[in-house]
Structure 1
């Protein structure tokens, strides 16, 4: 059995990792750690995870985490680098924070307030590059993996096939995406109170300032083989989990609706965790809740000459924890979908 520790298990993402590991046939859950919640009974914070309810959360230190085969870091940005550096190189460390996602130091220092820590292999197996290669080629045998952000997961997998196939252009990408409140973490924030959120939607991070912007541009640039320019507007939706991303880009000269559709068919025909819906059906967040699936649809708005791609993802599962477990499977040479739910929960 593989032993796995989860740092930050008291948060939404950390608890979701624990939920998935409890169903993984090859993993034994080891240490569960937290910062301010250290010393707390795990079941008091995650009562739905009954098998581990009586565990007591330990402090997040390298000493507690060492000795496991795999360590998942579900920590705030800027906190992973020091812990990872203190762990053995033989340990598979899967970071769910932003610390190691970006390749360009200038991008990091523009959007984050901690020193640039470097770049790890990027945990989006399905991301297609302009040369046709996919992200999983960098994950086999990896000992350090950076899990993608939840918005970049939805946006990148929505549009990348069109950029890689040359049927969509990267210079004028517009994204409007809605996220459930769990994307903001578990800390108490007045604007996330039920009375503030219920019955209302609101934009935030408007004007190119959201921290996921450079990650989205990095991924779409990789797909296009040239720089992508992205206008990204996130919105907060009155739901606990889920992201619905609507992404548009100019259609390439000479590309028709059939060519656009075929690019997505070719990219995702064999992908177990990305499902291209039948023509005429559109993604809904409710259909992917609790699953490691991304539902995608694409069409061509011929009147204005723009490709329109829509993706739905559970921000806590495929958007974070599921991607982390998927990356661990690839790193350890296990079947990619081991322990991952490929069906949603409804109603």
Structure 2
């Protein structure tokens, strides 16, 4: 039993990921929120940057320095790619550092350098408790890499079929995401007049940075070499991802058999829900929650398995996973501060 509160700092607190981490932590029974830091917004009243976080409105955003972050039990990093290693290295090994960026997700240095174009900083325990043996690696961990939002929903939507060997390891993922996945910085292609009434593809042809992460995850589940064709879509909504995963069947398989494989795989997972047969995931059902909704069937005529998953990219896709991992690292209830309940309409 924890008698004292866990002190937590958030670097990058003015961004979408940092703000979502704080929203969840404000409802966490074991946490006391300490330093809030940022980059160009340092010195600004926090209520002007994140007006929905009312209990923190009177704070002032500090600079992201080792001195500001020191002395906390847990530090969440919501920093640009390539910035986390320097900050983490300045913090003691007794501090739990949870990186919401990509810096420590990939184990293959060559893949990192190919997709990110900078030196590889290394790899940390991967923050997807539902994947293979990751939950055991996260218990007691002091450095954790939070998965990307697309890899979260793509991996969990494909994983039971890949692990059961009922599909060929040639996976196609088409995933539609809301605009918050691109971060809070102003970008011309994310202006309301550009996004409203429009859907577009980007990162097509195997070049999106999350592709090697999805492959890395699924390769943990099979002795075969997994290939993934991943196409992301930008759609006019603020948050959420809907991913459709298809793969050729490796053997005869009925829709009922596929469903049983998925239901059994996720029977004990608190944050993954296999919906009743015939009911398909939708993003509005998971907004604000740490839930992943999944459904699966078989396209018998095409000889393919088809699975669909929905996730809130800012919650279970980023901040929710970060808090879930903190709970595991510190020996707390894994679900503390988190909910499976979405917002509707």
Task: Please indicate the TM-score interval, normalised by the length of the shorter structure.
Answer: over 0.9
Question: Contact conserved, 1:13 with 1:316, CA < 8 A, in 2?
Answer: yes
Correspondence 1:116 to 2:114: no
Give the aligned partner of residue 64 of structure 2: 60
Give the aligned partner of residue 79 of structure 1: 83
Give the aligned partner of residue 338 of structure 1: 336
1:25 to partner: Cα distance: 0.3
Where do residues 172-321 of structure 1 align in structure 2 (5 Å cutoff)?
A: 172-321=170-319
How big is the alpha-carbon RMSD for the aligned residues of Structure 1 and Structure 2?
0.8
Q: Equivalent residue of 2:220, what SS?
A: helix
Alignment partners' CA distance in 1, 2:40 and 2:312? 27
Q: Equivalent residue of 1:191, what SS?
A: helix
Q: Equivalent residue of 1:330, what SS?
A: helix
Alignment partners' CA distance in 2, 1:215 and 1:226? 16
1:83-106 deviations in Å (ceiling 9; x for gaps):
101100000000000000001011
Alignment partners' CA distance in 1, 2:197 and 2:160? 35
Alignment partners' CA distance in 2, 1:73 and 1:301? 42
Give the aligned partner of residue 162 of structure 1: 161
Question: Contact conserved, 1:160 with 1:224, CA < 8 A, in 2?
Answer: no
Alignment partners' CA distance in 2, 1:119 and 1:323? 17
Displacement over 2 Å in runs of 4+: 254-259
Where do residues 68-107 of structure 1 align in structure 2 (5 Å cutoff)?
A: 68-107=72-111
Alignment partners' CA distance in 1, 2:66 and 2:206? 36
Provide the TM-score with structure 2 as the length reference: 0.97
1:177-203 deviations in Å (ceiling 9; x for gaps):
000000000010111000110000000
Alignment partners' CA distance in 1, 2:273 and 2:259? 13
Alignment partners' CA distance in 2, 1:137 and 1:303? 41
Correspondence 1:145 to 2:149: no
Selected match of 1:125 from 129, 143, 165: 129
Q: Equivalent residue of 1:224, what SS?
A: coil
Question: Contact conserved, 2:12 with 2:77, CA < 8 A, in 1?
Answer: yes
Question: Contact conserved, 2:253 with 2:298, CA < 8 A, in 1?
Answer: no
Q: Equivalent residue of 2:37, what SS?
A: strand
Give the count of matched residue pairs.
Answer: 341
Provide the TM-score with structure 1 as the length reference: 0.97
Question: Contact conserved, 1:175 with 1:248, CA < 8 A, in 2?
Answer: yes
1:305 to partner: Cα distance: 1.0
1:22-67 deviations in Å (ceiling 9; x for gaps):
0000000000000000000110010000000010000001111111
Alignment partners' CA distance in 2, 1:225 and 1:86? 39
Q: Equivalent residue of 1:342, what SS?
A: coil
Alignment partners' CA distance in 2, 1:25 and 1:41? 26
Question: Contact conserved, 2:7 with 2:31, CA < 8 A, in 1?
Answer: yes
1:118 to partner: Cα distance: 0.6
Q: Equivalent residue of 2:298, what SS?
A: strand
Question: Contact conserved, 1:167 with 1:259, CA < 8 A, in 2?
Answer: no
Where do residues 12-91 of structure 1 align in structure 2 (5 Å cutoff)?
A: 12-91=16-95
Q: Equivalent residue of 2:270, what SS?
A: coil
Selected match of 1:5 from 9, 13, 16: 9
1:256 to partner: Cα distance: 3.2
Q: Which moved more, 1:110-119 or 1:256-265?
A: 256-265
1:269-301 deviations in Å (ceiling 9; x for gaps):
011100000000000000000000000000111
Correspondence 1:135 to 2:134: yes
Alignment partners' CA distance in 2, 1:278 and 1:167? 21
